[in-house]
């Protein structure tokens, strides 16, 4: 939710109780669409529907697009067919597609066939693209010019068809077959002479995306090249639509939220926390927690297997939390850096050897630093060199190993076309805990044999 002033809710409820519909309508129209959407979500369901009905169709579409999917579905179920059709028609095609993705299929079928033939065909075409593809994100509302038009002819076309365009910052040039030739910033058209041809304004340098490309590719391109819009083409290069920066920002926010949730061993919620019920939160968290608890038995099994070693040197038990904690933290740090670099396109698979060499050096330096500190601590704490030597060597190897696991595992998953974000901190920590204990006790056994 946004920071909606709490005074707005009692004010709206007061107007409802007084049945001051004109006052309530004026009150809503003075609010920005995101604030009006927040207000609707905080009202009782019956009051929310009552308030929503007061909005004119164009404003209702703006407010509806700002609602969370569960609130959208609840409202649309309670509307008459006529009102539902009016609201859906006011949504931009890309937002309409996003809404259809989030509601049950039977309701999609019902709503799609309420649309006029042209909008129905458009909606079905957009829904035909895979989930998370750019095709689901694009809007077909753009302005295209022809290279042989003059600037004056282009402006006549712009005045005629530009009102429904998603953006006019960039205009697109296509040939008679619809093939994308170039994109032109509108300021270039404004500054040109009226009789100058569009082709004279072209530099034939542009970026485009295939409709089947992943939405994250749009995020990466727009971020890298500071683009406000991207044309979407089919395999032949025919212009199908555009993706704008506001849609891409939504995708970036959703992807970031999912990555954060996965790193914390939570199945992505897919909606705002405040709208998630206790049952949803339980289901999204319990599976990972059970799996991590089961893998935690690995650490217990390792300790049990080296019970004799531990009984000979009880002081070793004191350092177990420090050792495995340092390993888990090191692996999580490394994984976070690599996953973020992969997401931003800064790191590619062909650079894996460079990553391995760099992380070996970093892991060694980290291990030597922590190992040296722990070696001195162990030496003075137990007043003998043996424990200090065991702790120091173990820390060097555990940190080095954890650093490699945290950096290479995301690259392997990325190569296998799996989401590297699933390499969450708890999973890496659990893996490093078990292997770190094995390293620790093997070194302890080796030192014990040398001394005895």
Spell out the residues 6+ positions from residue 19 whose beta carbon is closer than 8 angstroms to its own: none
In a shared domain, residues 104 and 167 = no
Spell out the residues 6+ positions from residue 223 whose beta carbon is closer than 8 angstroms to its own: 252, 344
In a shared domain, residues 167 and 217 = yes
Q: How many domains does the chain have?
A: 3
In a shared domain, residues 227 and 324 = no
Which tens digit of pLDDT belongs to each residue from 99-153?
Answer: 887 777 667 767 876 788 778 777 767 777 887 888 888 888 889 999 999 999 9
Tell whether 264 is covered by a domain: no
Which of 128, 156, 172 marks a domain boundary?
A: 128
Which tens digit of pLDDT belongs to each residue from 328-381?
Answer: 888 888 888 888 788 767 777 778 888 888 889 999 999 999 988 888 877 776
State whether the Cα torsion 208-338-428-416 is positive or negative: positive
In a shared domain, residues 100 and 174 = no
In a shared domain, residues 195 and 340 = no
Tell whether 296 is covered by a domain: yes
Strands 180-185 and 170-174: antiparallel
Cα–Cα distance for residue pair 210/112, rounded to 1 Å? 25
Tell whether 269 is covered by a domain: no
CA-angle at 35, arms to 15 and 261, nearest 5°: 135
Spell out the residues 6+ positions from residue 118 whose beta carbon is closer than 8 angstroms to its own: none
Residue 118, domain CATH = 1.25.60.10
Which tens digit of pLDDT belongs to each residue from 15-69?
Answer: 888 888 888 888 888 888 888 888 888 888 778 888 888 888 788 888 888 888 8
Domain that holds residue 348: 277-451
């Amino acid at each position: 939710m946004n920071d909606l002033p709490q005074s707005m809710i009692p004010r709206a409820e007061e107007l409802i109780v007084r049945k001051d519909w004109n006052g309530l309508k004026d009150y809503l129209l003075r609010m920005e669409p995101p604030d009006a959407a927040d207000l609707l979500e905080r009202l009782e369901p019956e009051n929310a529907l009552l308030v929503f009905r007061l909005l004119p169709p164009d404003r209702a579409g703006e407010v509806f697009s700002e609602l969370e999917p569960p609130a959208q579905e609840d409202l649309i179920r309670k509307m008459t067919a006529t009102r539902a059709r009016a609201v859906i028609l006011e949504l931009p095609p890309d937002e309409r597609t996003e809404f259809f993705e989030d509601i049950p299929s039977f309701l999609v079928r019902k709503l799609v066939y309420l649309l006029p033939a042209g909008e129905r065909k458009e909606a079905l075409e957009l829904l035909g693209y895979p989930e998370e593809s750019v095709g689901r994100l694009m809007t077909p509302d753009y302005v295209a010019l022809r290279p042989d038009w003059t600037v004056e002819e282009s402006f006549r076309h712009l005045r005629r068809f530009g009102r429904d365009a998603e953006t006019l910052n960039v205009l697109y040039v296509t040939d008679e077959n619809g093939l994308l030739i170039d994109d032109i910033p509108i300021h270039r058209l404004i500054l040109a002479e009226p009789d100058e041809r569009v082709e004279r304004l072209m530099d034939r340098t542009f970026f485009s995306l295939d409709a089947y490309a992943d939405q994250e590719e749009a995020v990466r391109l727009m971020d890298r090249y500071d683009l406000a819009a991207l044309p979407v083409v089919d395999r032949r290069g025919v212009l199908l639509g555009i993706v704008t920066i506001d849609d891409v920002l939504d995708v970036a926010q959703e992807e970031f939220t999912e990555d954060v949730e996965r790193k914390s061993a939570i199945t992505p919620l897919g909606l705002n926390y405040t709208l998630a019920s206790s049952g949803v939160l339980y289901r999204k968290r319990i599976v990972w927690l059970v799996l991590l608890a089961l893998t935690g038995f690995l650490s217990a099994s390792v300790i049990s297997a080296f019970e004799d070693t531990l009984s000979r040197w009880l002081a070793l038990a004191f350092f177990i939390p420090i050792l495995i904690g340092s390993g888990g933290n090191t692996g999580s740090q490394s994984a976070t850096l690599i996953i973020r670099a992969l997401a931003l396109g800064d790191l590619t698979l062909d650079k894996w050897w460079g990553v391995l060499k760099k992380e070996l050096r970093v892991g060694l330096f980290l291990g030597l630093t922590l190992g040296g500190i722990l070696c001195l601590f162990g030496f003075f704490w137990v007043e003998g060199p043996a424990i200090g030597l065991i702790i120091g060597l173990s820390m060097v190897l555990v940190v080095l190993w954890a650093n490699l696991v945290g950096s290479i595992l995301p690259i392997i998953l990325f190569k296998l076309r799996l989401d590297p974000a699933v390499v969450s901190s708890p999973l890496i920590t659990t893996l490093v805990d078990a292997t770190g204990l094995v390293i620790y006790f093997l070194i302890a056994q080796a030192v014990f044999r040398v001394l005895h």
